[in-house]
A and B are shown apart, each in its own frame.
Chain A
Amino acid sequence: MLIKIEQEQSIRKTVADPKIQKAVYSATARLKEKRSEVVSPEALPEYQELREQAHRIKRHAMENLDYYLEQFEKNLTAHGGKLIYARDGNEVADFILNLAKERGVNMLVKSKSMTTEEIHLNERLEHHKLETVETDLGEYIIQLAGDRPYHIVAPAVHMTRQDVGEVLTRTLHVERSDVPEEQAKIARVTLREKFLAAGIGISGANFLVADSGAVTIVENEGNARLCTTAPKIHIAVAGMEKIIPRAQDLAVFLKLLGRSGTGQLLTVYTSFLSGPRRAGEVDGPEEFYVVLMDNGRTKLLADAEKRESLFCIRCGACLNACPVYRKIGGHNYPGAYSGPIGAIITPQYAGVAKDPWLPFASSLCGACAEVCPVKIDIPKILLSLRREVAEDNAGEAGSPMERTAFRMFAWVMRRPKLYALGARIAGKFAGLPGLTSFGPAAKWGSTREVPRPAAKSFRDQWRDRRKGAR
């Protein structure tokens, strides 16, 4: 398992930063607490049943994706919408850039979307002088700060209200306020103008409903609703795994998503969007596009063992539950997705050799799988990825030294007498100074005292006792 020095240093820095530690631990604790209240057996007796159902629906949808994609396209087209297939981020950006050029659009607004974070859409568009404005408050602050999201549902979770006040003052030249309500008001005034002036609104999608050709978006601020209705053109960018078969399946997913993510029974707004404005309707966009993105997903779909990584509904519950995320924070994860779900998705999109350390950054405690609303067996997938790294014989990702060590381990563990002898010798030398200053003992010893073998092992004590009894 190789990890770059800079990556190790960055993790160490985050763990040693009391401000970040406090902000992230307390925010995730709040979200964790709120979630467990609303999914308790008293509050939601059918919770476990719902998780099971959600898992089964997603499995069915992924295993029959070709069928449901076709159905989705047919229904979307019947409403006047258009489906665009994009293989990767380049194709998504090209489509948007071309459309903007054709329609003479030079500014667009965006609602929160992890899929567009995944492909760095904003940078791509800004690079072509297309002004792109995030309208979710957290995302807007992050954009103004030149930062990237720290958490799947709470992008600015690492920033204090003072940090936010500073960013708003510096970038918008407004009077400094550290009161969250006033900060929201400042953002609202600025963003309102953007909504009205934007030629295109870009959103993500929480679900693509095949039987109704509809895009479902959940949110709390109303900005997604404005993004998808105020501008003349709406483009929803979605990963192809967002497909669910039927509108009635939403009864399962909507119950789980708000509860798991923020502890809400439902988010404040739930929008069902199925095509552009029709004759006689007073609002809605004139053009409606759904860009369906692959970007590595079909590769994942082909892998029966790890396919369930695609079931994720991006609630963020696994981040809040994860003791490792809560220590290392969101920015130490490569890619847009942090936490346990990021640790299994990112290596599958990019290949394990790119960041081979990622699947190992887990104590395999299982807290993530316990809270996952669609029952993704995250620890099992982490183990599978670790196996890929360990068995990477090309040597890119795996460590020859570690491999030798585990071969020796297995060899000794099949030879009990050798094991016992080795242990006895190790016990004799354990107390020697200097022995803990290199190798694994030194790593352990950097943050904890190194355990010392007992003077007499269990097997030796047991033998003595039996001798005594005779």
Chain B
Amino acid sequence: MPGRVSLFVTCVVDQVFPRAGMAMAEVIGGLGYEVEFREAQTCCGQPAFNSGYHKEAAEVAEHFIRTFRDATDYIVVPSGSCTSMITHHFRDLFPPGSSLREETEYLAPRVFEFTQFLTQVAKVEDVGARWDGVVTYHDSCHALRELKIKDAPRLLLRNVKGLELREMGAAEECCGFGGTFSIKFPEVSGGMARTKIESILATGASTVVSIDSSCLMQLQGAIDRVKAPLRTVHLAEILASR
């Protein structure tokens, strides 16, 4: 057995896109890892952090740390944004020298976004998936700019049998979600999603793929509103399909 993986499925995946979480578990399990899910997990605290509520974010982060502190080997997350919250921003929530800060420093290197885990830890580029259709990949902002994830998801997609990957012009432009931004500035947020959809449509792809469910929630909501002939899929679901 190559190792043990503890899943952090994120609140959005848990509540809205459980199939993405199940697919991730399937792919990782299929590689021979022992997969566990800790029921005490909830959220990474990002909504509070991004809205300026540090104290509240720190409380949720502390809960995360307590839940996963003894998780051995790896913690894998189906979201770039939540991964980045844990690996890049948790440390800002606790004062230097505090025990929680130290625990963060200890925990963070074991936390991986799903495609990071596949390509860097499991070192696989082809999971043996099959998915027929033309897709385009949406770079989610925190995955791209904070975690520097750009090639891994594309590499994994290109190795899926039957799948054609077409790049869109605005691949790196934000979908407009931005957490509470999406409800504080609905017109701006929705407008950004429409700009993104235009770029997706221009590729001729029928499906847009992301590694972040919150982007997919935003894009699917806008797609349904404008009735565009598109669907959104989390990368894990494509990799789990046979």
Chain A residues proximal to chain B, CB less than 8 Å: 1, 11-12, 15-16, 21, 25, 323-324, 326-328, 357, 360-367, 369-370, 383, 385-391, 402-403, 406-407, 409-410, 412-414, 416, 419-420, 423, 426-427, 440, 443-444, 446-454, 456-459, 461-463
Asked whether, in the complex, the Cβ of B178 is within 8 Å of the Cβ of A364, the reply is: yes
Per-residue contact bits, chain B 169-187, to A (CB 8 Å; 1 contact, 0 not)? 0001110111111111111
Q: Chain A residues with Cβ under 8 A from B186's Cβ?
A: 443-444, 446-448
Asked whether, in the complex, the Cβ of B193 is within 8 Å of the Cβ of A448, the reply is: yes
Asked whether, in the complex, the Cβ of A388 is within 8 Å of the Cβ of B52, the reply is: yes
When A454-B18, A461-B22 are in contact, do A367 and B174 touch as well, CB less than 8 Å?
yes
Q: Is B120 an interface residue (CB 8 A)?
A: no
The listed residue (B15, B17, B45, B192) touching A323 by CB distance below 8 A is B192
Asked whether, in the complex, the Cβ of A328 is within 8 Å of the Cβ of B188, the reply is: yes
From residue A422, how far is it (CB to closest CB) to chain B in Å? 10
The listed residue (A365, A403, A447, A461) touching B187 by CB distance below 8 A is A447
Which residues of B172-217 have CB atoms within 8 Å of chain A's CB atoms? Answer: 172-174, 176-193, 195, 217
Tell me whether chain A's interface is mostly helix, strand or loop, or mixed: helix
Asked whether, in the complex, the Cβ of A323 is within 8 Å of the Cβ of B174, the reply is: yes
Minimum CB distance partner of B169 in chain A: A29
List 10 A-B pairs, minimum CB-CB distance, nearest first. A447-B190, A363-B178, A448-B221, A390-B52, A386-B52, A365-B174, A410-B56, A458-B18, A365-B141, A449-B224
Asked whether, in the complex, the Cβ of A366 is within 8 Å of the Cβ of B141, the reply is: yes
Asked whether, in the complex, the Cβ of B48 is within 8 Å of the Cβ of A409, the reply is: yes
Chain B residues proximal to chain A, CB less than 8 Å: 9, 13-19, 21-22, 25, 37, 39-43, 45, 47-57, 59-60, 62-63, 141-142, 145-146, 172-174, 176-193, 195, 217-218, 220-222, 224-225
With A and B bound together, what is the CA distance between A463 and B37 in angstroms? 9
Asked whether, in the complex, the Cβ of B41 is within 8 Å of the Cβ of A366, the reply is: no
Chosen A-B contacts, 18 in total, with CB atoms closer than 8 Å, are A357-B184, A360-B185, A364-B141, A366-B145, A370-B145, A385-B52, A406-B48, A410-B59, A412-B42, A413-B59, A423-B14, A427-B15, A448-B224, A453-B16, A458-B13, A458-B14, A461-B18, A463-B39
Asked whether, in the complex, the Cβ of A448 is within 8 Å of the Cβ of B15, the reply is: no
Asked whether, in the complex, the Cβ of B142 is within 8 Å of the Cβ of A366, the reply is: yes
The listed residue (A366, A414, A444) touching B183 by CB distance below 8 A is A444
Asked whether, in the complex, the Cβ of A367 is within 8 Å of the Cβ of B43, the reply is: no
Considering residues A357, A410, A440, A456, which has the most beta carbons from chain B within 10 angstroms of its beta carbon? A410
With A and B bound together, what is the CA distance between A446 and B184 in angstroms? 11
From residue A448, how far is it (CB to closest CB) to chain B in Å? 3
Asked whether, in the complex, the Cβ of B188 is within 8 Å of the Cβ of A410, the reply is: no
Q: Chain A residues with Cβ under 8 A from B21's Cβ?
A: 458, 462
Q: Chain B residues with Cβ under 8 A from A387's Cβ?
A: 52-54
From residue A303, how far is it (CB to closest CB) to chain B in Å? 16
When A409-B47, A451-B221 are in contact, do A324 and B52 touch as well, CB less than 8 Å?
no
With A and B bound together, what is the CA distance between A463 and B16 in angstroms? 17
Asked whether, in the complex, the Cβ of B60 is within 8 Å of the Cβ of A413, the reply is: yes
Asked whether, in the complex, the Cβ of B15 is within 8 Å of the Cβ of A365, the reply is: no
Minimum CB distance partner of A424 in chain B: B15
Asked whether, in the complex, the Cβ of B225 is within 8 Å of the Cβ of A447, the reply is: yes
Asked whether, in the complex, the Cβ of A327 is within 8 Å of the Cβ of B225, the reply is: no
From residue B222, how far is it (CB to closest CB) to chain A in Å? 5
Q: Chain A residues with Cβ under 8 A from B180's Cβ?
A: 360
Asked whether, in the complex, the Cβ of B141 is within 8 Å of the Cβ of A363, the reply is: yes
Minimum CB distance partner of B48 in chain A: A406
With A and B bound together, what is the CA distance between A357 and B57 in angstroms? 20
Minimum CB distance partner of A387 in chain B: B52
With A and B bound together, what is the CA distance between A357 and B185 in angstroms? 10
With A and B bound together, what is the CA distance between A448 and B228 in angstroms? 12
With A and B bound together, what is the CA distance between A461 and B23 in angstroms? 12
From residue B20, how far is it (CB to closest CB) to chain A in Å? 9
Considering residues A327, A365, A423, which has the most beta carbons from chain B within 10 angstroms of its beta carbon? A365
When A362-B181, A387-B54 are in contact, do A15 and B187 touch as well, CB less than 8 Å?
yes
The listed residue (B16, B22, B181, B195) touching A360 by CB distance below 8 A is B181
Asked whether, in the complex, the Cβ of B15 is within 8 Å of the Cβ of A457, the reply is: yes
With A and B bound together, what is the CA distance between A30 and B115 in angstroms? 33
Q: Chain B residues with Cβ under 8 A from A16's Cβ?
A: 187
From residue A33, how far is it (CB to closest CB) to chain B in Å? 10
When A363-B176, A457-B15 are in contact, do A443 and B183 touch as well, CB less than 8 Å?
yes
With A and B bound together, what is the CA distance between A97 and B47 in angstroms? 51
